[in-house]
């Protein structure tokens, strides 16, 4: 079978080489798709085998990604690179080529990872100008990733398929919060980082300032930064050569059994599930039977190819290549991002890092038009075909009827899901106030996880002994004149400051641990408004930062002879066996976690090069202020040096006054103990979270219940009541709006009865017009949700979402 | 054109084909006894309203609305299709625009095919506007002549109503209209008795003209019945002004009073200047108060509040308007006018040029129902019946409604209104028109016994229910068209 197939491939490739000639002379073959015309020699398309991937061994492949803060020009740069290589034709196709969803275009964000394969002739490590014709052709895969923290897991998987990134920074705006987060993602993944200072054509561009920032924040060599303007095309000619010169080739083994990483998947009405994959080791041919490491399911590959930029069948994907497969998966649920796919008959060690989606934010979704549950159900079913990271369970609300409780990766994810439901599936959705998953522990020892505040009993009859809420680590970068109000904002939101440092004379980087609940609604808007839009904000999952990372690293470290223990012992003797250095990590699970780190220098100081895992350790060790360490020290090869010198200890001492020296400090083995108060468990103690009910004419509205911090209940209650008063129209009777904790009313407003609503005008015989007027009024009623006897407009539910800050 | 519409549909629904729904045609039950005799309700009716006349032809219209769009100027609240002549000249009698329009109007009437050979004598004719009193009496007479030629001799007790504005007629003209032309009822557009309010509205007359007009109309040349029309909730209208207007209205001694509540319509000058409920317009509570004041004052003076905005001395209801409220068919002629014939509602073009083209098409006989014609389907019919009948003091006749639209609809309607019956906005009445208590209403609603044993009518209470009519009708619409 395979032999036959290869034979036919050989035949087609001869034809192809003929076609190839016609390309070069600018004649178009009828065999090439008629929708687009291509003039680049690198454009081979439309027919299986039109691209001969065997020409591209790993050393001729570069897999890279572009990472940037929002609006720093990532998508435009991607467009230019696609045009430059003739992958898309200039002026044709839509801008932001890789952002295919309407929501992505509207918001200028990337939600789904996209990949495009480009071909580029370049003389590797070129020192002298050569004829371009003789230069070897490279296959470049641009893997576009979402930039937002909500999708950081997807990003990390996408980055796992890359060997390098272009870190794009706006020449005028400089480094922003998301730049920092993205840098560390790439840095942790041990990727080559090419700084690109973009938008240098702007009048306010200040590349030197940005270079200084890159140097001080990330220790990136300013001389290595590329200066570009994706808009004017200035400097773009250096980008791809730098990619080829500075990013290593994919490291996979051609002769090993197939292992490929599933990057993303989407559902196509005609083809079914289409998976984006990166072949790490081995090769995959059309017709192969593959299996999923996560589920064990076996599929037959019915179509395979590259995205060039649309699906272009190639019949094969070889080591280091990135492309798509169609394999008869029925829903994207089966295609889990991060999964390892392999030949069905062989067993392989799965690629590291697979984990199921973790839902941080929950919200109820209800049909906006009263009874139209089926339409919403259908829309959600179809959308989760394309976005398997949403969890969906049916729920019923007395106020809103039948609906769904959906779990999202984060706020943006929720928003995007919402918008896609409306835009792509025409569903009209009413969503309840988003909530985070809380855990309540009662006096009888029972624990409840609450994803819907309404599910929490208002009067449970037993006391709550403890409750937990998730929190995040937020990075905020802002001009120093706004520091005061931002600190106030963060402390209002129950935030704990973790870090405060100047990244340059006028700009401050702050890190806060914030309860997720406090930023779920409105935090970013508030932050933007008090800083006139100058602050940038990003966050990461704090729980991830503590427990999740411990877990993740426990496995990575153990494989590297590190050992991580959560024992209560002060510290434990190190077990040195690595040929570099090794240590033992002892965590003490008090309120504060003491971390004891022992390192022993085993080789020559100057030869130390840290592995990815080691870098992670380093970052973990220094926690959220790694940037400070890096900033004060050198790039990563040298960090290892710094680590074992006294300098690093000094730096740690400077940042944490409470770093202690351990008794057995000897020149070979250096021990640092950090007393680390900010790494405390994400807990809120004893009875400090309460359920806040909203009552309309004495009847609790389940869809409006929220869980709030006790201290804020009064204020939130007042605000919710005021908001509702503004949005509920007067009705034929008086309406009371109350906020209550248990049976205690904490806020109340009254809406007086409507006095008059009559069409007392002579419309003569124009009955149709009269009827239409009243039908409009009826439609208005339909858009209302009836809660007991009270009609609540949907806007009221939407408006409640905005209440949060106090 | 209304009647051109169902023609192709007849082929789709041949008589005695399988009925889509088993339901007699509603119109037949809502018409007068006399027409029911002529057109007995067909038991084996085809429910499709698109072809009602195949099995149960609805009664032919016996009412005619004629639109005479001329005004001296446009009032600031007005969004009717009118033609402003300009107030420079006081002599419109030879205005070529009026002559041309009337010729066009007559062409329309002539070109209209009578509904059927069974045309009944016309019982009401209403000249609305615009300001019909600007049209010379001889032209009005020519319209009436044409109607007689077309539809046969009118009924002996025909009501010929005409809207007249103060300052547009003198004794001679009034005498000619009433005595020669045959106008039997005048609707006098007084609107307000305060000079400043009349100015505020952009009316073309002042208080002096109002007093003169009242004297003329109520005098010996006047018709046997006339109506005084007022508008409440005008900008800067105070309670004292309204009280004065009501008092003067009563003392003028009309048989009929219409009280319209100002609606700020899109595209009018008022819409540009004012927001309902905000100064200088009265607040909602104040405006409701005006309504209640009118209701109380006029009832006290012996007027019956027989419809949301209409009051009359016994026997002086506007028969033409009752046609509308009983959802009966009527002809409509002239610019922008609406007609309801054979289950089809049709609105004529509101612009003169398009109206002229419409008339030409009509004469040429190739009128297609291209615009503004809509077949009233069952659901809409039910909505119209509810909407229109609830405007009246008589209210909704449940038995007749049940016969036309089924028992389950009546039940759901009663259920939806139950809270409003309880709050007193809706009144349930028995056959003798005695109010039924909420307890008994509930019994009937929940009991096994058939609904309608006791509750025969549902009406809106006066004034609280009337004041909330939109809200209550919208609730009913929610049931009829979920």
Q: What mean pLDDT comes out for the span B194-210?
A: 93
The answer to whether the annotation marks A200 as part of a ligand binding site is: yes
Q: Which of A312, A346, A380 is the last residue of a domain?
A: A346
Nearest-CB residue to B374 (from A765, A768, A778):
A768
My answer on whether A227 and A323 are in the same domain is no
Q: What mean pLDDT comes out for the span B346-350?
A: 90
Q: What mean pLDDT comes out for the span B115-138?
A: 88
Cβ distance of B384 and A771 shorter than 8 Å: yes
Tell me, yes or no, if the pTM score tops 0.80: no
State whether ipTM is beyond 0.85.
no
Q: Supply the pLDDT for residue A176.
A: 84
Which tokens sit at B205? Answer: 């007359």
8 Å CB contact between A702 and A648? no
Q: Supply the pLDDT for residue B106.
A: 95
The answer to whether the annotation marks A346 as part of a ligand binding site is: no
My answer on whether A162 and A221 are in the same domain is yes
Nearest residue of chain A to residue B81 (CA atoms): A763
My answer on whether A218 and A256 are in the same domain is no
User: Beta A289-292 vs A298-300: how paired, if at all?
Assistant: antiparallel
Q: Supply the pLDDT for residue A592.
A: 25
Cβ distance of A759 and B481 shorter than 8 Å: no
Q: Supply the pLDDT for residue A96.
A: 66
Q: Supply the pLDDT for residue A559.
A: 41
Q: Supply the pLDDT for residue A743.
A: 85
Closest CA to B230 of B320, B297, B178, B154: B297
Query: For testing the chain B interface, which of A767, A779, A784 should be mutated: the one with the most B CBs within 10 Å?
Result: A767
Measured distance CA(A46)–CA(A35) in Å, rounded? 11
Q: Is residue B355 pLDDT above 90, yes or no?
A: yes
Measured distance CA(A515)–CA(A501) in Å, rounded? 22
Greater model confidence, B407 or B249 = B249
Q: Supply the pLDDT for residue A804.
A: 43
My answer on whether A186 and A82 are in the same domain is yes
Query: What is the residue extent of each domain of chain B?
Result: 2-55, 63-324, 378-480
> What is the domain range of residue A673?
560-679
My answer on whether A288 and A407 are in the same domain is no
DSSP states of A46-58: SSTTSS-GGG--G
CATH of the domain at A498: 3.30.70.240
Beta strands of B69-139 (E only): which ranges?
Answer: 70-71, 83-84, 124-129
The answer to whether the annotation marks A144 as part of a ligand binding site is: yes
Q: Supply the pLDDT for residue A308.
A: 84
My answer on whether A75 and A211 are in the same domain is yes
Cβ distance of A777 and B471 shorter than 8 Å: yes
Residue B449 — pLDDT band, cuts 50, 70, 90? low
My answer on whether A798 and A732 are in the same domain is yes
A553 in a structural domain: no
| A764 interaction partners in chain B (CB closer than 8 Å) | 65, 126, 128, 324, 337-338
CA A276 remoteness from chain centre: 17
My answer on whether A272 and A226 are in the same domain is no
Cβ distance of A761 and B478 shorter than 8 Å: no
Residue B187 — pLDDT band, cuts 50, 70, 90? very high
Q: Which of A293, A316, A346 is the last residue of a domain?
A: A346
A447 in a structural domain: no
Long-range contact pairs involving A790-795 (C-beta distance under 8 Å, separation at least 24): A790/A696, A790/A697, A790/A728, A790/A731, A790/A735, A791/A728, A791/A729, A791/A731, A792/A399, A792/A696, A792/A701, A792/A724, A792/A727, A792/A728, A793/A727, A793/A728, A793/A729, A794/A368, A794/A430, A795/A727
Which residues, numbered 313 to 332 in chain B, qualify as contacts with chain A under a Cβ-Cβ cut-off of 8 Å?
324, 327, 330, 332
Q: How far, in Å, are B38, B42, B142 from residue B120 at the CA level? A: 10, 20, 21
At the topology level, CATH places domain B378-480 in Arc Repressor Mutant, subunit A (1.10.10)
Per-run averaged pLDDT (10 residues), chain A, 806 residues: 42 39 36 35 43 85 88 84 82 64 66 78 60 75 76 75 91 85 74 91 91 82 88 89 91 88 84 89 92 88 88 90 88 80 87 71 81 82 77 84 86 83 82 81 80 78 75 82 90 80 79 80 78 76 48 44 32 29 30 29 29 44 37 32 37 37 34 31 50 88 84 86 87 89 90 83 74 82 75 77 48
Give how many domains chain A has, as a whole number: 7
Cα angle, residue B287 at apex, residues B337 and A786 outer, rounded to 5°: 85
Closest CA to A618 of A637, A604, A602: A637
Greater model confidence, A159 or B111 = B111
A551 in a structural domain: no
Q: Supply the pLDDT for residue B9.
A: 37
CA A627 remoteness from chain centre: 20
CATH number of B63-324: 3.80.30.20
Q: Supply the pLDDT for residue B217.
A: 95
Q: Supply the pLDDT for residue B292.
A: 95
DSSP run (H or E) holding B423 = helix B407-423
Which tokens sit at B98? Answer: 């009026």
Cβ distance of B374 and A777 shorter than 8 Å: no
A52 in a structural domain: no
Q: What is the mean pLDDT of chain B?
A: 83
The answer to whether the annotation marks A69 as part of a ligand binding site is: yes
Q: Is residue B20 pLDDT above 80, yes or no?
A: no
Q: Is residue B442 pLDDT above 70, yes or no?
A: yes
DSSP run (H or E) holding A629 = helix A626-632
A601 in a structural domain: yes
CATH of the domain at A376: 3.30.70.870
The answer to whether the annotation marks A71 as part of a ligand binding site is: yes
Nearest residue of chain B to residue A731 (CA atoms): B471
pLDDT tens figures, A583-631? 333 232 222 222 323 332 222 222 233 344 444 444 444 433 333 333 3
Q: In chain B, what percentage of residues exceed pLDDT 90?
A: 56
Q: What is the least distance, in Å, from the CA of B470 to any CA of chain A?
A: 5
Which residues, numbered 242 to 301 in chain B, qualify as contacts with chain A under a Cβ-Cβ cut-off of 8 Å?
258-261, 263, 284-285, 287-288, 291
Q: Supply the pLDDT for residue A620.
A: 45
Nearest-CB residue to B387 (from A731, A774, A780):
A774
Nearest-CB residue to A765 (from B259, B263, B338):
B338
Q: Please tell me if residue A26 touches chain B, with a CB cutoff of 8 Å.
A: no
Which residues, numbered 187 to 226 in chain B, qualify as contacts with chain A under a Cβ-Cβ cut-off of 8 Å?
none
Nearest residue of chain B to residue A369 (CA atoms): B482
- What is the DSSP code (8-state) at residue B331? E
Q: What is the least distance, in Å, from the CA of B16 to any CA of chain A?
A: 30
pLDDT tens figures, A116-146? 888 888 776 554 445 555 678 899 999 877 7
Q: Please tell me if residue B65 touches chain A, with a CB cutoff of 8 Å.
A: yes
Q: Is residue B34 pLDDT above 70, yes or no?
A: no
My answer on whether A738 and A705 are in the same domain is yes
Greater model confidence, A769 or B44 = A769
Cβ distance of A756 and B288 shorter than 8 Å: yes
């Amino acid at each position: 079978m395979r032999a036959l197939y290869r034979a036919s491939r050989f035949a087609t490739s001869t034809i192809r080489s003929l076609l190839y000639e016609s390309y070069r002379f600018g004649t178009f073959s009828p065999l090439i798709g008629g929708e687009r015309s291509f003039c680049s020699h690198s454009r081979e398309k439309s027919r299986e085998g039109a691209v001969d991937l065997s020409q591209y061994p790993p050393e001729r492949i570069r897999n890279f990604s572009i990472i940037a803060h929002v609006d720093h020009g990532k998508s435009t740069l991607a467009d230019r690179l696609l045009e430059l290589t003739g992958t898309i034709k200039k002026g044709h196709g839509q801008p932001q080529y890789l952002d295919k969803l309407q929501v992505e275009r509207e918001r200028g964000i990337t939600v789904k990872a996209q990949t495009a394969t480009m071909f580029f002739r370049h003389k590797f490590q070129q020192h002298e100008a050569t004829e371009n014709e003789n230069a070897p052709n490279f296959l470049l895969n641009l893997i576009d990733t979402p930039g937002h923290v909500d999708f950081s897991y997807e990003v990390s998987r996408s980055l796992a398929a890359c060997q390098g990134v272009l870190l794009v920074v706006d020449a005028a705006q400089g480094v922003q919060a998301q730049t920092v987060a993205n840098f560390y993602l790439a840095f942790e993944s041990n990727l080559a980082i090419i700084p690109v200072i973009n938008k240098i054509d702007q009048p306010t561009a200040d590349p030197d300032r940005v270079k200084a920032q890159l140097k001080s924040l990330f220790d990136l060599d300013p001389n290595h930064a590329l200066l570009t303007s994706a808009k004017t095309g200035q400097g773009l000619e250096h980008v791809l050569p730098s990619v080829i010169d500075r990013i290593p080739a994919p490291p996979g083994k051609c002769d090993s059994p197939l292992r490929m990483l599933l990057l993303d998947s989407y559902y196509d009405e005609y083809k079914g599930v289409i998976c984006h994959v990166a072949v790490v080791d081995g090769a995959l041919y059309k017709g192969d039977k593959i299996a999923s490491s996560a589920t064990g399911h076996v599929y037959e590959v019915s179509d395979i190819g590259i995205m060039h930029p649309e699906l272009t069948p190639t019949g094969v994907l070889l080591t280091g290549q990135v492309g798509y497969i169609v394999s008869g998966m029925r829903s994207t649920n089966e295609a889990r991002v991060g999964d390892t796919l392999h030949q069905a008959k062989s067993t392989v060690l799965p690629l590291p890092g697979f984990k199921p989606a973790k839902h941080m934010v929950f919200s109820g979704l209800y049909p906006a038009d009263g009874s139209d549950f089926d339409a919403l159900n259908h829309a959600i079913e179809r959308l989760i075909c394309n976005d398997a990271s949403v969890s969906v369970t049916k729920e019923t609300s007395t106020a809103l009827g039948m609906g769904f409780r959906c779990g999202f990766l984060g706020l943006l994810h929720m928003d995007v899901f919402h918008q896609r439901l409306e835009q792509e599936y025409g569903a009209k959705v009413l969503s309840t106030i988003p909530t985070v998953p809380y855990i309540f522990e009662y006096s009888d020892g029972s624990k409840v996880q609450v994803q819907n505040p309404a599910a929490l009993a208002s009067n449970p009859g037993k006391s709550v002994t403890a409750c937990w809420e998730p929190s995040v680590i937020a990075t905020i970068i802002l001009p120093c004149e706004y520091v005061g109000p931002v600190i106030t904002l963060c402390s209002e939101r129950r935030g704990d400051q973790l870090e405060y440092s100047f990244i340059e004379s006028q700009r401050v980087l702050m890190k806060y641990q914030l309860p997720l609940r406090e930023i779920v609604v409105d935090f970013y808007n508030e932050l933007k408004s008090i800083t006139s839009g100058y602050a940038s904000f990003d966050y990461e999952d704090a729980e991830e930062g503590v427990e999740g990372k411990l877990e993740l690293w426990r496995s990575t470290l153990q494989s590297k002879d590190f050992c991580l223990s959560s024992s209560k012992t002060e510290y434990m003797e190190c077990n040195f066996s690595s040929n570099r250095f090794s240590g033992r990590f002892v965590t003490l699970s008090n309120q504060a976690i003491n971390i004891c780190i022992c390192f022993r220098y085993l080789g020559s100081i100057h030869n130390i090069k840290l592995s990815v895992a080691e870098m992670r350790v380093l970052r973990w060790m220094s926690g959220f202020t790694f940037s400070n360490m890096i900033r004060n020290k050198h790039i990563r090869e040298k960090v290892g040096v710094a680590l074992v010198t006294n300098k690093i200890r000094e730096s740690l001492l400077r940042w944490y006054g409470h770093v202690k020296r351990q008794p057995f400090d000897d020149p070979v083995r250096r021990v640092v103990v950090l007393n680390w108060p900010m790494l405390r468990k994400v807990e809120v103690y004893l009875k400090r979270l309460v359920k806040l009910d909203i009552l309309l004419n004495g009847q609790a509205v389940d869809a409006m219940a929220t869980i709030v911090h006790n201290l804020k209940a009064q204020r939130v209650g007042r605000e919710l009541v005021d908001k509702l008063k503004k949005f509920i129209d007067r009705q034929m009777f008086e309406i009371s709006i109350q906020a209550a904790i248990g049976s205690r009313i904490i806020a109340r407003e009254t809406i007086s009865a409507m006095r008059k609503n009559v069409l007392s005008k002579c419309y003569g015989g124009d009955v149709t017009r009269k009827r239409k007027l009243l039908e409009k009024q009826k439609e208005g009623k339909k858009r209302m949700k009836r809660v007991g006897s009270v009609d609540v407009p949907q806007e009221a539910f939407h408006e409640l979402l905005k209440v949060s800050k106090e | 054109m209304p009647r051109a519409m169902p023609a192709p549909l007849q082929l789709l629904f041949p008589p005695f084909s399988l009925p889509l729904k088993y339901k007699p045609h509603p119109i037949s039950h809502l018409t007068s006894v006399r027409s029911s005799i002529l057109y007995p309700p067909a038991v084996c009716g085809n429910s499709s309203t698109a072809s009602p006349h195949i099995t149960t032809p609805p009664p032919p219209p016996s009412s005619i609305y004629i639109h005479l769009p001329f005004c001296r100027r446009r009032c600031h609240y007005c969004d009717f299709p009118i033609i402003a002549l300009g107030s420079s000249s006081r002599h419109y009698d030879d205005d070529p625009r009026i002559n041309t329009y009337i010729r066009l109007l007559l062409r329309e009437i002539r070109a209209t095919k009578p509904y059927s050979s069974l045309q009944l004598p016309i019982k009401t004719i209403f000249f609305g506007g615009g300001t019909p009193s600007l049209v010379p009496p001889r032209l009005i007479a020519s319209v009436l002549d044409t109607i007689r030629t077309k539809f046969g001799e009118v009924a002996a007790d025909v009501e010929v109503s005409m809207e007249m504005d103060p300052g547009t007629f003198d004794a001679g003209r009034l005498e000619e209209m009433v005595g020669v032309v045959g106008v039997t009822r005048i609707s006098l557009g007084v609107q307000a008795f305060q000079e400043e309010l009349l100015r505020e509205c952009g009316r073309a007359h002042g208080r002096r003209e109002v007093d003169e007009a009242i004297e003329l109309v109520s005098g010996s040349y006047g018709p046997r019945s006339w109506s005084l029309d007022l508008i409440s909730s005008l900008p800067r209208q105070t309670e004292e002004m309204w009280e004065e207007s009501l008092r003067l209205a009563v003392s003028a001694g009309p048989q009929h009073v219409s009280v319209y509540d100002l609606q700020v319509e899109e595209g009018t000058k008022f819409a540009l200047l004012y927001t309902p409920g905000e100064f200088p317009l009265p607040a909602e509570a104040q405006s409701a108060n005006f309504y209640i004041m009118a209701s109380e004052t006029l009832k006290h003076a012996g007027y019956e509040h027989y419809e949301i905005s209409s009051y009359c001395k016994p026997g002086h209801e506007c028969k033409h308007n009752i046609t509308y409220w009983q959802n009966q068919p009527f002809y409509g002629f002239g610019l922008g006018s609406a007609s309801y014939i054979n289950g089809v509602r049709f609105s004529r073009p509101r612009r003169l040029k398009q109206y002229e083209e419409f008339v030409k098409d009509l004469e040429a006989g190739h009128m297609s129902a291209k615009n503004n014609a809509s077949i009233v389907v069952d659901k809409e019919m039910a909505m119209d019946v509810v909407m229109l009948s609830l405007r009246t003091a008589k209210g909704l006749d449940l038995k007749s409604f049940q016969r036309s639209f089924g028992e389950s609809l009546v039940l759901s309607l009663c259920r939806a209104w139950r809270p409003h019956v309880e709050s007193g906005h809706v009144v349930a009445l028995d056959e003798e028109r005695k109010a039924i208590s909420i307890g008994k209403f509930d019994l009937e609603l929940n009991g096994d016994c058939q609904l309608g044993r006791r509750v025969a009518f549902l009406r809106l209470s006066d004034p609280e229910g009337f004041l909330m009519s939109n809200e209550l009708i919208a609730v009913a619409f929610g049931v009829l068209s979920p």
